[in-house]
Each structure stands twice: as structure tokens, then as C-alpha cells.
Structure 1
Amino acid sequence: MLWQEVEAEINRIANRFYEDQLPDGSWGYPFETGISSDCYLIILLRMLEINDEELIRSLVNRIVKKQESNGAWKLFYDEGDGNVSTTVEAYYALLFSGYRKRHEPEMLRAKQFILSKGGIQEAHTFTKIMLAITGQYEWPAYFSIPVEVMLLPLSFPVNFFDLSVFGRVNFAPILILADYKYSIKSEQSPDLSDLFIGQNRAFFGDFGLNDDQNLEWHSVLNLIKHGIQSIVDPDQSHEAALKRTEEYMLKRIEPDGTFECFYSATFLMIFALLARGYAKTDPIIRRAVQGLKSMICQIGGNLHAQYTTANVWNTTLISYALQEAGLSPSTKVIQKANQYILSRQQNKYGDWAVHNPHAKPGGWGFSDMNTINPDVDDSTAALRAIRRLAPENAIYRRAWERGMDWVLSMQNSDGGWPAFERNVDKEFLTLLPIEEGQDILIDPSTPDLTGRTLGFLGDCTYLNRHYPMIKRGIKWLLDSQREDGSWFGRWGICYLYGTWAAVTGMRAVGVPHDHPSIQKAVTWLKKTQNPDGGWGESCRSDIEKRYIPLGVSTRTHTAWALDALIAASGDTTPEIERGIRFLAGGEGQEKWIRQYPKGKGMAGAFYIHYHSYDYIWPLLALVHYKKKFF
């Protein structure tokens, strides 16, 4: 019978969590982001002359295993015939490692793929920056953002803190590197000149001022230049700006040595410090490298350099899911998890305070060593995990109150919630000529963050749709619904993710299930269900900004869609029953389906396979089904 299958699957997932919990109470399931970080670590180690051969060989093996038969590498399974940037990075890293030679058949196929797509010039801007740093690409003659932007005050219409935190931590070192036109090679550096087609080795459309279509961006640049000229002393500004940029990085180094726990930012910071005269053996650089190494995990018998760790995110979600499944907060597994969560609550003022100066620290970050960069999603997930302890335990109650105050303070002026910082939503900044800049340059309200925050408030507090703050959040969601009934998800793939978050959030705060917006979303979810009862969405949805089915069902997508339908339905429906049967059937899927990315960082460039997701979200959907309909 179906209820027996549901019960069995709930128990199977719960037992998996019991087995996988780490001694410190967390869960360290990998945060897998393809091969780029593996490639960059090889390049970094070779440049710094750190000959960790066992590590390099393992990274090489993992990269080679991911190569397609046509010589290319992909970001996700159905990404056409390959990704130019990723293939350039892999080709470069493999040659740099010394364990692959350019005459080998796999390398020749990789080279041919790159050339067939227009050459190395077609790589992503950030790939070109890495290549420029390491002597393979020419810096543009003029970098359109001068380092003096660091000196503009917060009162100026455009300033450095108008960028999102992810944009800032990556652009701060780039400003130094571009200013110096810094380039370094080692004795082992390969020569990639044969990957160019023609003589054009400039960035042009990426960071130059030669794009006639970018008139709006030119006007923003002129505003910045005028501000610098009118506010900053030209005789002292240049070195002062470089120094301030350096200090910006150094002040945000985490206990593990990384720059705010981000791989790319740490990689770029190391080279920026070299440009500023630091030695390769400087303790700050050595600690940064060690921090990157500390994020290495093992996947499929080979090492993977994670972009960051996901321990806090994993642990908050799993603790909550297990408690939803019936585990008491007093059980050992939950006690250990919640003690870990408590230990990771932040008590420092980070950059978020620039736009939210009246709030006190109290949020949680994503990764294990994150102490200054909290986010709304992790904070509400942590609060869900500890809420059953807060009424009776003074320590947890204080943590709850601090966390609640911080989350509520983060609501944007438009009524929605961002990820990291309030009101960092100046859309003209996305005119910066970089691919999919809206994903890294600003941090606006999004349906997924707004829906999940409303869901937390409705599930875990006494706030409902009559409370002014909730009203504003609901209105923002209603205004952002797409014509077909779906919502776009910023941090997951993609329309299924956004629609799940919006529907469950609005239902949690009391929006009726027969509200036209809810029913419109239900209709869309039913239309997108697959014949096998599940759902699946392609990462191409994120790139093309329209729903594109994957063609197969994934457990995570199915769980999101099901959870939304369960929340929106007064009674079980055939669609819900079919979806539950799919989930209750376990993990009998092809490997590529299980490993398909469900998270994203940047459209067309950065996708995430959360190894925890195929357990967490199905468990929650099954539990919610059981509670509502059994």
C-alpha cells in the first residue's frame, strides 16, 4: 500500500542521515560545482610552486573523467555539445599539471572543440581574467572601472557597496589586478597561443569601452569618473585606492584563511596580493591556500575542490526535516546538530550592516567557517531547526530572538527579501558588460527568498497575512508572478524552485488555497508533470529565462512541485498521488539524473549539485503528505 511505501522511504532517508552525521553534529555533503575550481586549484598550486603531486593527480583524474567524447566539458548534462569556458579551463589545467600532453588524443579533441567554437576569445569574462593573470591573455588597454571607485563615499549615487557582496569580493581583487595589468608565469606555464583564432586578444565587449550599444553603461562610468574627479585628490587617490582595496580584502579573511569563504574571491585575492608585492610564501597567502585545500572533499574516488562548504546549510535543513519527520529535539542526533547550528550563529557586523545599520548581528551563513557574511535563507533555516527548543531553553531563546530580529530587518523596501543585503538592487549596475551580470552584481528581492521567508514566518511564528510586513511580502510575490502562473527562482533550478517557494510561503501565512494566484500556479505545476509522476527542469531554463523541461524526472524537482501542490490542496489529487509514488520508489535513476544540478550561482557559468538535496526535499514532501492526508 502507498502509505507503507511512504513510511519506508521516510525511514530510509532518516537512517541515511543518522549514518552520515559528522562528529561535530554537522552534515558535510558535498557542494559540487563541476570542474572549474579543480582546474583553478591546479593552476594556483603550479603558479605558487606548491608541488602537492598527490592532490594534483587526483584533481587531474577527476577532470579527465568528466570529459565528453567530443573533447569538451559541460556544466550540465543537456548543455548542447559543451561549454567553451570550462573546456578552456580544463585544457589549460591539464597541460599545466604536467600529467597530460597536448599531443594526446583527448587533448587534441579538446583543442579542436575550442577552435570550432571560435577559439579562446569566446571564453567567459572571468575565464579571460584568470588567463590574463597567468600570462595567457592580454589585459585591456583601459579597464573601464578605475580602482579609485573604492574611494567614493556611501553618499555618492554610485559606490562600491552598491554591488552585491559576491560582486564586491570578486571585483575588489580584480580592480587591483587590472590596475597593475598583473601577469605572472612559471617555468611550467603552458602556451595557449594556439587556441586563438586571428590576432584579436583583447577583451573588447567584456570590459573595454568599444561597445557602442552600451551607452547607458557609459553614462554610469562618466558619473563615476566625475565623482572621482570632484571628490578625490588626484595626487593621492591612486595609491590610497589600491591600499583601501587591499585592506578591504584583508579585513574579510575568514578564520580558515579564505576571502569570505568564496573560492573565486580567494583565488583572485592571492594574485592581487602578489601584485601588491607580497611574496608567494607570505603567511596570508599560505593560509589562503590552506583554506582552499580545507574545502576539498572526495567524490567518486577523486578529490574535488569545493567552491565553498555547505555544512551550515545542510545541517539546518536536515535538523528541521528530521524534526518534521517526528524526531524529538532531545534525541542525540538533533541535539548534536542544533549545538553545531548554535555555534555558527554570527556575532560580528559584516558588510550587510552598511545598508542595514540599525540591526544587530544574529544571522547564519552558508559554509562552515563563515563568520561575517550571513544570509536570509540560511538564517530562516537555522531558526526552523532550533524553534522547538527556544521556548524552554534560554540559550536557544536568545539565539532565536537575535536571528528573528536580523531576518525581519532584512526585508527590502519593495516588500521582498534578498539573500545577503538590503536594497542592493540598482539595476543599472547590471549594464556592466559581463555575461549574466544580474546574478552577481546586485542582490534584489527574489521569489524564492521572499517565499521561503514568508514560509518560515507562517510556519514558525504567529505572524500571518494580516501583519503589515507579511502583507508587503505577499504583494511583492503576487506582483512578480509570471503570466503562466510560475515564479522564477534565483538560487535553484529554476521555475519549479521559485514556484514551490512562492506557493508554500503564501499558504503558510494564510493566503487561501483558492486564491487566483495559487490556483494559477497549481495549474502550471500540473501541466509540467511528467508521465512517470515526477517533475524535472533543465538548467537551460535559467539561461533562456523560460521553463524548459529536462525530459526526465528528478527527486528534488518532484519534491518541490509536490510540496507546493500539497500546500495548495485541500484534498489529495491524482497528480499528488502520482508524484508521491515516484518519490516513494527510491533512487532508482541513472547516474546523470541523480547528479544533475539543482542549484545555481550564475546563469550559464555556475551550477551546483547539492548532494544532500535528493534526501532533504523528498523527506519533507513525504512527511507533509503524510501529515496532511494520512
Structure 2
Amino acid sequence: MIVKLDGSKRGRGPTTGASSRGLTTPAFDAEALDQGLAATRQWLLDQQRDDGHWVGELEGDTILESEFVLLLTSLGREDDPVVAKLCNYLFEQRLPDGGWAIYPGGPFDLSASVKAYFALKLVGMDPEHPEMVRVRQRILDAGGAQACNSYTRFYLALLGQISYDDCPYVPPELVFLPTHLGLSIYDMSSWTRTMVVPLAILSVLRPVRHLSAEQGIAELFRPDLPPPSRRTEQTWSWANFFVACDRLMKWAHRIVPKAVRRPGLSAAHRWMVDHFDRSEGLGAIFPAMVYSVFALRALGYADDHPLVRQAMQQLEDLMIEEHDSVRVQPCVSPTWDSAIAMIALADSGLPADDPRMLQAARWLLDHEIRTPGDWQRRRPGLEPTGWAFEYRNDFYPDIDDTAMVLLALGRTALMRFPEGQAVTDRAVAWLLAMQNRDGGWAAFDVDIDNQLLTKVPFADHNAILDPSCADITARILEILGTLGYRADHPAVARGLEYLWSTQEPEGCWYGRWGVNYIYGTWQVLLGLQAINFPMDHPNVQRAADWLESVQQEDGGWGESCLSYDDPAWMGKGVTTASQTAWAVNGLIAAGRAQSARVRRGVAFLLRTQNPDGTWDEPQFTGTGFPKVFYLRYHLYRIYFPLMALARYRSAIAANAPSRVHAGALACGVPADPRPLDM
């Protein structure tokens, strides 16, 4: 039997943990902790693939399923059986009061709802069905289909519901612009780059699949409202300038001979096809992969052409079918999942020379990228290395993944050999060279921070740039600190300056790649600890105080994606296992492992743990594009809590080495039959 910290049976009932407001702090039970650790560790080990890696499902919102339906419709495949299964999943995800959100518990989202309504109508759902009527009214109340974001409007243009003149114009000649102008595709984030190039092809060729009136969604448009514009009320602004350029390019499109556009179109075509190489699809992410199929078809490629077949297969590989429904992943996360799983298992006591750890390490080493990528535009001559988030995405090694992989490899015996040292030296040199001028680190490139680009009409996905962020910067400090770098190293010192400049008045940090301030703050505290920064520094203690201040009544932590839109939600939301684990690990790093707050957090994790060692977590705690796209990593609810429980056990053992329960042997700490006193 698995028990609570207070000795009662653990299950999935409502949480009633304590806070500082006069409620009882649970008694510590080392046996419960040992059992919880053992169960989670075994579950995670059981998920290891035969070749040594881990990969959990990566869940996005329903735009993935609806866009797949719209893609198949554009190809004339709306009768494909998978369309009905995609729509079954879509229908299941609707909001109780109509429409769709972009994360569980989120508000109605116009663009997601328009695409879902369109998909359901294409599969044959009666527009007078009560659910469709409710969605339609919500869409009209929100401004109608013409108020969708620019990326949704491209889908509507492809299927003949609006004119391409109602979409932002993306000139293919962007590929010719040099980077020193600050407006080239290499001044945009890598993910934007892979979307913009195929959209530029569509902007010129303007393919349309014409549908019957019965299939269309004319009823979602409001004739009393114009399409949205990014134009501001100011007489002069850069947004107004780019809106004027957009209109000029659309006018030029109608009068400029096609021969004049051919070089730009050919260059965009060549760039796109070249970037199919060494990748699981263009950019290895769903939006770019879908746009690339549209672009190939517009360029005249037949459905049975190898490039089209390959692109479609790569998209279909992202599908997960269960019963009579199909859902779609935005990409896959094997490198990220494998590295964090290894770290958590090592923390839990799995030896560095355990065959399963060594097999995972070899898998990671086999996936090091040793070929050139787009990042070399800004760092020519730097030796290629790094790891991608996905199985194969060689043009885009991920800075965050590379740091996490090094942290994982460092916990294995393989790194004691010359091969391991060579990999580490190469990757660290790459990471140091990828530091931005502001002292921070970004996701894929260097100094992609020209704010002017945020004003262009197709920048409304809120991620056209790839600027420094606190969570990745701190992760780099963590690996550097683990390797012996300290605060007096120039790169570390600049990284620290960046972190202090971005600390919020409340003491926390914004989390770019996880939700949100809990994620950013946890990671910064780990980075500071790793470089032996004085953890009694006032800035550090302010961060720890903030984490404690947002602990909830049940002892856990949770933060909604709403915190990206409204700072009032900072550190607030439904409590989750992953976010509780982040907070617990952050407080342990800040030197507060002995605190009642941490003990309550651990109690929450053990009380809400399932008998098989897992946790239930339907919430999205990962971030794609803030305010636009969020993620649920299905393994976050496993390896982060395992990490927190293991680090708590180690911290307690370090403070009382002669008082550790014998069951702790399973976690790699000294044995003693007596329970710990807290």
C-alpha cells in the first residue's frame, strides 16, 4: 500500500493540504517517500524504449486537428476516414458554453473556434445543430471569421472563403535580404522562418480549392465589420508603415509581370526543399509542415511526388489514434524527454553505470548534430554540434535541449571516457558562442531581437523573434556551474547581469518555455545554485519568498496560462504535479529544504500520486508561443515530481545522515531504521 505523509491511504481524492494560514503541517513519513519514489521510478523505467530513449505524447490544442482536416480538404480528401476521427476528437474538446479554447480551462478563442466549426461542417455536421448554433453565435459576437489571426486567414483563403488580399502579404524576396538589414528571414525566429517561406510561395501563387456554398462558412462573417488591420491611430508608426507596405505589395502583385517575381519564388522554393533534408518535415513542427504541403501543391507537385508523399507521411506520423478519434501532436520531444528522464532517474539513485542509463546516454550521443544549420549565419566557422528537440531537425539544434542533454550525460559513466569529454568540450564551446549580446541565451539563434519585426502584419503569432529568456539563460548557467564555471567567468557574469535585469518586482522570473513565473523562477534558482552563487543573497531570497507566497491551500503550486495575458494570474491556477515539483526544487535550491512549505509541497505530491507512481495532470504547463499556443508534455507529470521527491530526500539525508529510513537505500542514500524528525 502507498500511504500519505500523514499515514493514511493515498488516492486520487480532493486535496486538503495545509498552507501557512493556521493549518496543520503534515508529519514526515520517510517510508511513504521511499515508496512514492520507487513507484514513480519503476513506472518511468518501464516507459524506456528498446533503443534507450524516452518520448511522451506532446499535446497541443485543437487547431492541430482542425488544420489537418482543412489540409485534407484542400487536397480533395475530405472523405478520408481519418477526417471523421479528427472531428470526433474536435467535438469532444469543445467548451461547455460553445467554442474552443487553446488550453484546458482557457477562454473562448476565436481562431481555434472558426477552424473547428469549419472542420465539423466539412465532415457533414448540420450547421443548425444546437452546438454549431452556439459556436456560430460566439464567433459572430467576437467579430466574425474575418477577425481571425493571419495564419488562420491563409487557411480560409486556400479554401476560397476569403481573398488572399485579406491575408498579410509575405514577399518571397525576403530570402534575398542580408541579415545586416535586420529584416531578413534570418532575423526571424527559426520557427517563423520555416512558416514564412512556404507562406511567401502561397502569397505569390494563391492556390484555391473552391468549395460549394453548403461546405463554406459564409455565415461566420460579419458584413458590418472590415478585416482586422495592425494599423495604429498614430499619424506615424512602424505598424502603419508595414501596413502601407503590405498594401503596396498586394497592388504590385496584380501588375508586376510574373517573370519579375520568378527569382524570388525560385529562391523560396529552393530554400524550402533544401530544408526538407535532415529533418522530419520542414522545421519538424506541424505549422511549417502543413504550409510546406500547400506550397508544394501550389508549385505543381503531384500528390504522388516523393516530396509530397514524404511530407504527408511525416504529418501522419504525428497522429495518435484511440478508439474512434484521432489527435495530432505539434511535433515530438524525444531528446527533451530522454534527458530529463535520465536526470530524474539519476537523482532517484539509479547508478551512473546502470545499463539503462548507459543505453540512454548512447542514444543521445548518437543524435548529436554534426552538420551545419541556420545558426551559422550568425556564427560562421563555429564547429557544428548540439541536439534537436525532435528525432531529426539538423538545421535547428536547440540551445535548451543541448544544455539539458549535457546535464543528463554528466550523470552517466560514459562521460568519464575521452569520447564524453570531447562531446562536452564541443557542446560547451557552442553554447558559449551562442550567448546573446544582452548576456542571455535564446532557443535557437543569436541576437534575434529586432523589435521592428513585431510590427509586420504576419507577426501576430507573438513569436516572430527568439530573444533571450531567463529560463534558458539559467539552464546554461546550470550546466556551466555543473562543469565548474563560477560567477567570475565572463560568460557567467554576463548571464547573471541579464537575470538581474529581468527579475520581476515581485522577485520572480518570467518563464518563456514553461507556464510561467513558477517555471522561470525555479530554473533561475537552480542555475544560481549550480554556479555556487550565494543563495542568501537578497535577490535569491526574494525569489524564494515569492515561490512560498504563491503556495496554495492544498500544499501545491499551480499557474494558469492566463498569466501570460494578465499578470494578476502570476503564480495562480489549478495546482499541478509538475508545477509543484518546480516550486519544491526551486526552494530546495534556495536552501529551504527544511521548511514547512517544502514539506507541504512534498506532501501534496505524495497525496495526489496514483498507486502506479503517476500523477493526473490534464493542465497545459508547457509553452509554445505565449498567448497563442500552449503544450501538455505528458511526461512532465512524471519526471519532474520524481526529481523533486528525490532531491528532497537527498536534502533531508544530507542534514540528518544518521537518521534515514532503511527504505531510502532504494534511493541511493544511507540506511537507518528510524524515521526522520522534521
* TM-score, normalising length: structure 2: 0.85
1:610 corresponds to 2:633: yes
- Which residue is equivalent to 2:330? 307
Selected match of 1:456 from 479, 485, 492: 479
Shift of 1:70: 2.0
Matches within 5 A, 1:215-230: 215-219=237-241
1:406 corresponds to 2:433: no
Tell me how far apart the structure 2 counterparts of residues 223 and 41 of structure 1 sit (CA, whole Å): 32
Point out which structure has higher relative CO (alpha carbons under 8 A, 6+ apart): 2
Pair 436,554 (structure 1): closer, same or farther in 2 beyond 3 Å: farther
Deviates more, 1:397-406 or 1:376-385: 397-406
Aligned-partner residue type, residue 297 of structure 2: L
Larger radius of gyration between Structure 1 and Structure 2? 2
| 1:575 match: secondary structure | helix
Pair 586,301 (structure 1): closer, same or farther in 2 beyond 3 Å: farther
1:354 corresponds to 2:358: no
1:192 corresponds to 2:214: no
- Which residue is equivalent to 1:110? 135
Tell me how far apart the structure 1 counterparts of residues 245 and 428 of structure 2 sit (CA, whole Å): 39
Aligned-partner residue type, residue 474 of structure 1: L
Pair 220,44 (structure 1): closer, same or farther in 2 beyond 3 Å: closer
Selected match of 1:88 from 79, 92, 114: 114
1:173 corresponds to 2:195: no
Deviates more, 1:567-576 or 1:439-448: 567-576
- Which residue is equivalent to 2:66? 39
Aligned-partner residue type, residue 547 of structure 2: L
Deviates more, 1:610-619 or 1:406-415: 406-415
1:198-218 deviation per Cα after TM superposition (whole angstroms, max 9, x unaligned) = 16564x415xx6875771234
Deviates more, 1:328-337 or 1:516-525: 328-337
1:368-427 deviation per Cα after TM superposition (whole angstroms, max 9, x unaligned) = 222221111110111112123354333333332322222222111211111100111112
Selected match of 2:208 from 183, 194, 201: 183
Tell me how far apart the structure 2 counterparts of residues 397 and 549 of structure 1 sit (CA, whole Å): 40
Pair 68,520 (structure 1): closer, same or farther in 2 beyond 3 Å: same
Tell me how far apart the structure 1 counterparts of residues 189 and 585 of structure 2 sit (CA, whole Å): 31
| 2:127 match: secondary structure | coil
- Which residue is equivalent to 2:493? 471
| 2:463 match: secondary structure | helix
Shift of 1:335: 2.5
Selected match of 1:622 from 645, 650, 667: 645
Pair 234,302 (structure 1): closer, same or farther in 2 beyond 3 Å: closer
Selected match of 1:576 from 598, 602, 610: 598
Q: Percent identity?
A: 28
Shift of 1:185: 3.0
**Structure 2: runs of 5+ lacking an equivalent:** 1-27, 654-678
Pair 145,127 (structure 1): closer, same or farther in 2 beyond 3 Å: closer
1:371 corresponds to 2:394: yes
1:55-97 deviation per Cα after TM superposition (whole angstroms, max 9, x unaligned) = 32322221111112322111223323x2111111111112223
- Which residue is equivalent to 1:97? 123
Shift of 1:174: 1.3
Shift of 1:296: 1.7
- Which residue is equivalent to 1:383? 406
Q: CA RMSD in A?
A: 2.8
- Which residue is equivalent to 2:12? none
Tell me how far apart the structure 2 counterparts of residues 52 and 309 of structure 1 sit (CA, whole Å): 27
Pair 86,187 (structure 1): closer, same or farther in 2 beyond 3 Å: same
Tell me how far apart the structure 2 counterparts of residues 189 and 249 of structure 1 sit (CA, whole Å): 35
Aligned-partner residue type, residue 381 of structure 2: H
Shift of 1:145: 4.6
Shift of 1:290: 0.4
* TM-score, normalising length: structure 1: 0.91
Shift of 1:495: 0.7
| 1:607 match: secondary structure | strand
Shift of 1:560: 0.9
Contact 2:104 2:618 in 1 (8 A): no
Pair 213,323 (structure 1): closer, same or farther in 2 beyond 3 Å: farther
Selected match of 1:446 from 469, 492, 501: 469
Pair 551,147 (structure 1): closer, same or farther in 2 beyond 3 Å: closer
Pair 54,25 (structure 1): closer, same or farther in 2 beyond 3 Å: farther
1:23 corresponds to 2:50: yes
Contact 1:257 1:290 in 2 (8 A): no
Contact 2:339 2:404 in 1 (8 A): yes
Tell me how far apart the structure 1 counterparts of residues 609 and 212 of structure 2 sit (CA, whole Å): 48
- Which residue is equivalent to 2:563? 541
Shift of 1:489: 0.7
Selected match of 1:133 from 154, 158, 183: 158
Shift of 1:189: 8.2
Tell me how far apart the structure 2 counterparts of residues 115 and 39 of structure 1 sit (CA, whole Å): 19
Pair 214,533 (structure 1): closer, same or farther in 2 beyond 3 Å: farther
